[in-house]
Chains A and B, each alone.
Chain A
Amino acid sequence: MRFPLSLSLLALFLWSAGAPSAHAIEQFVLDRGVVQPLPIAIVDFAGTGHAARDIAQVISDDLERSGIFKPIDHRAFIDKEAATRTPPRFGDWRLINAQALVTGKVETEADGRLAVEFRLWDVLAEQQIAGLRYKASPTNSRRIAHIVADAIYKRVTGEEGYFDTRIVYVAEKGPPNARKKRLAIMDQDGYNNKFLTDGQSLVLTPRFSPNSASQEIAYLSYAHGTPRVYLFNIDTGQQAVLGDFQGMTFAPRFAPDGNKVIMSLADEDGASRIYTFDLRTRKEVRLTDTPAIDTSPCYSPDGQHIVFNSDRGGTQQLYTMNADGSDVKRISFGSGRYGTPVWSPRGDLIAFTKIEGGQFFIGVMRPDGSGERILTQAFLVEAPTWSPNGRVLMYFRQDAPDARGKGSTSRLYSIDLTGFNERGIVTPEDASDPAWSPLIR
């Protein structure tokens, strides 16, 4: 009888183990959503003087311009004392649909410096998610505000910010036949504009050194007659011609490590070839050697590859090659001509200008040429430059002149990588050829 008993026990075990569990937890998968700016409330910082309010305003303007945030009108605020209330009354902010809240205060230290403190609150989770304190000279209050905006941007998006940066560009003034072009520099939001050159010589294509400590710009100048690549030191104002090339040098760009400049050299045979010039050893290396026009070279962020445009195939197209000039591959195959390629600091995209049907376009494609996407178009849009986080492109746009040949203005614009949020940047004069600096450290 022992055998059947153990058998029935076994059967009982088998059945009970196989019985369905009492309760399975529901699981949802959400694979759709919306893309909207995040409603954020930025209260005036506590503290006396203009700095408290101005800093909050600069932060608000930075975040709003990014298109990722939507600052809420101060008049909607219920809690007027939020700057000094820690933690804030979250219910008051939920009522006005704020999802994030920025509070802070500004104090003047005994040594005269400003101490600025901010806190970023997640209103729905009811918790502080960032909080920092900075000290700086009162003359740098705008920079502190940009740094705070960068910290908020990074915490909310995960990406480095780009507000504490500057733009160097070519300021233009005067009639077309006597156009005065000067190098100018400003903060990314258009403030603190300063002219770097006097306009005696034509200047073009300024490019920032990736090494923010060096404060150097490479650019093309027609000083002394021959167009050549020069280096300009922003701190000292000193300029120096780059290398001792026999022909015309143009289209300079720094290597990612800042130690080399890559550019084109127009040889006597009418061809343009790509060279690198080592700033430490003062030696140049030729990378391309065809009878075509190879120009607008730009390094990938890892320094391993170079993208450039060339008409070696009959029309102007984009090509990539290894940093030593080997393994040249054509990557653009769309209709029209392609030029001024710029590798994104992220490394995942290349921005370019395209000319087709009498119109200019600015677009992006992957480094292998796939996924081409056009972001903007106009009578003339040119010279794309990436924000240091690879999220925003800046370029200049020129409208078509009227029937009398007038009314053609040239302005700077920025657009988000997604193709939305196109914004104009106010400059004191017409502007072209922008170049975005790295984050100022």
Chain B
Amino acid sequence: MMGRSGLIASAIFHLLVAALIYFGLPSLFAPTPPEPTVIAIKVATIAPETHATKPALTPPKPTPKPQQVAEAEPPKPDPPKPEPPKPEPPKPEPPKPEPPQVAALPDPPAPVPELKPEPPKPEPPKPEPEPAKVEPPAKPADKPKPKAKPRDDDAEFSSFLNDISKRTAPKAPAPAPAASAAAQPLAPLGSQLTASERDLVIQQLEACWNVPSGARNARDLKPSFMVDMNADGTVRQVKLLNSEQLSDPFFQAAADSARRALLNPRCQPLKLPPDKYDDWKKFTIIFDPKDIT
């Protein structure tokens, strides 16, 4: 009896082993590959509207005069922010404004030596550092690791730099949207949004991201954020994920610029599908200027 049940158990075991060999071991941690049909079909149907057009490069124009009010953003009611009401500072006393938002701010620069009262010589004024009034820097959360992409040729580096010697020989105009189809972001594996839905968001934010062009090593500054969204497509909160780099003033400037893009009311609400709110109520975003600085 024992021999027979052992035989059966052995047969079952061998069958299982054979099945595992044939079908393969299920991945323990990696998510199963997404069902390709969903993404492929959606892209195909919505594709005509999904070209992520490269925005026209608008170099800083010499603007000798400030812009008039009329050109400013027409007054719109602010997008409703479900943030808790900000506590008014207890006193209007200037030295200590307690800004309600999260941020990581650097200490003021070291004071400059006191002025000497010598009339002809311009004296260095003495700055007295303000008492620090800033909130502690946000704690670094999980560091999203931007994909290590091969560094492109330097030709790409100069895409935002002017070279008047190239004006005489008009080259092909700025890459046409169609030509950049290959560069269009694809919906990554595991994404619940279609490529077209992702494109739309990226296109919206591109218009509000003022790239730190001309800055030293700008292409290496890649701030990434965790973004909490409201159901109406407005941004509720942004949190810098690689805040440990804030001691670098260049990174700090790049992070501020990226944050402004996320918070700019001109680029909200983000055009995300309301029925997929669960999929985008929280997302991460990396600002990677490697090709545009």
A127 touching B101 by the CB < 8 A rule?
Answer: yes
Q: Does B115 contact A (CB under 8 A)?
A: yes
Contact residues of B between 143 and 192, Cβ < 8 Å to A = 144, 146, 154, 158, 160-165, 185, 188, 190-192
Q: Does A337 contact B (CB under 8 A)?
A: no
Stretch from A63-71, A288-296, A402-410 that touches the partner = A63-71
Q: Does A147 contact B (CB under 8 A)?
A: yes
Kindly provide the distance from the CB of B180 to the nearest chain A CB, expressed in whole angstroms. Answer: 10
Kindly provide the distance from the CB of B90 to the nearest chain A CB, expressed in whole angstroms. Answer: 12
B162 touching A134 by the CB < 8 A rule?
Answer: no
Q: From known contacts A97-B73, A416-B214, infer whether A25 and B283 are also in contact, taking CB-CB under 8 Å.
A: yes
CB-CB under 8 A from A159, the residues of chain B are 215-216, 249-250
Contact residues of A between 205 and 237, Cβ < 8 Å to B = 235
B101 touching A125 by the CB < 8 A rule?
Answer: yes
A28 touching B9 by the CB < 8 A rule?
Answer: no
CB-CB under 8 A from B13, the residues of chain A are 3-4, 7
A35 touching B59 by the CB < 8 A rule?
Answer: yes
A76 touching B69 by the CB < 8 A rule?
Answer: yes
Q: From known contacts A122-B256, A158-B253, infer whether A30 and B209 are also in contact, taking CB-CB under 8 Å.
A: yes
Kindly provide the distance from the CB of A327 to the nearest chain B CB, expressed in whole angstroms. Answer: 24
- Per-residue B-contact encoding for A1-44, CB less than 8 Å = 1, 0 else: 10110010001001101111101111111111111111100000
Stretch from A247-255, A277-285, A315-323, A372-380 that touches the partner = A372-380
CB-CB under 8 A from A134, the residues of chain B are 112, 125-128
Kindly provide the distance from the CB of A201 to the nearest chain B CB, expressed in whole angstroms. Answer: 24
A24 touching B162 by the CB < 8 A rule?
Answer: no
Stretch from A136-144, A175-183, A263-271, A304-312 that touches the partner = A136-144
Q: From known contacts A99-B260, A125-B101, A140-B115, infer whether A37 and B68 are also in contact, taking CB-CB under 8 Å.
A: no
A375 touching B108 by the CB < 8 A rule?
Answer: no
Kindly provide the distance from the CB of B185 to the nearest chain A CB, expressed in whole angstroms. Answer: 7
Contact residues of A between 94 and 128, Cβ < 8 Å to B = 94-97, 99, 105, 113, 116-117, 119, 121-122, 124-128
A418 touching B160 by the CB < 8 A rule?
Answer: yes
Q: Does B140 contact A (CB under 8 A)?
A: no
B164 touching A26 by the CB < 8 A rule?
Answer: no
A129 touching B215 by the CB < 8 A rule?
Answer: no
Please, how many angstroms separate the alpha-carbon atoms of A37 and B127 in the complex? 28
A158 touching B69 by the CB < 8 A rule?
Answer: no
Q: Does B37 contact A (CB under 8 A)?
A: no
Please, how many angstroms separate the alpha-carbon atoms of A246 and B191 in the complex? 77
Interface size on B, residues (CB 8 A): 126
Using a Cβ cutoff of 8 Å, how many contacts connect chains A and B?
A: 338
B101 touching A126 by the CB < 8 A rule?
Answer: yes
Q: Does B292 contact A (CB under 8 A)?
A: yes
A4 touching B12 by the CB < 8 A rule?
Answer: yes
Kindly provide the distance from the CB of B271 to the nearest chain A CB, expressed in whole angstroms. Answer: 13
B284 touching A25 by the CB < 8 A rule?
Answer: yes
- Per-residue A-contact encoding for B109-133, CB less than 8 Å = 1, 0 else: 1001111010101111111111001
B291 touching A31 by the CB < 8 A rule?
Answer: yes
CB-CB under 8 A from A50, the residues of chain B are none
CB-CB under 8 A from B57, the residues of chain A are 34-35
Q: Does B25 contact A (CB under 8 A)?
A: yes
CB-CB under 8 A from A87, the residues of chain B are 89, 97-100
A29 touching B285 by the CB < 8 A rule?
Answer: yes
Q: Could you name 16 residue pairs across A and B whose Cβ atoms are closer than 8 Å?
A: A14-B28, A25-B284, A31-B291, A32-B209, A33-B289, A34-B211, A37-B63, A39-B72, A72-B66, A87-B97, A95-B75, A96-B72, A127-B102, A158-B251, A371-B158, A373-B158
List chain B positions with a Cβ less than 8 A from chain A. 5, 9, 12-13, 16, 25-29, 31-32, 54-55, 57-64, 66-69, 72-73, 75-76, 78, 86, 89, 92-94, 97-103, 105, 108-109, 112-115, 117, 119, 121-130, 133-135, 144, 146, 154, 158, 160-165, 185, 188, 190-193, 198, 201-202, 205-216, 248-254, 256, 258-261, 263-266, 278-280, 282-292
Given contacts A34-B57, A133-B127, A158-B216, 15 further A-B contacts (CB under 8 A): A18-B27, A31-B288, A31-B290, A32-B54, A34-B58, A34-B207, A72-B72, A76-B68, A119-B97, A122-B256, A132-B108, A136-B115, A151-B109, A192-B122, A419-B164
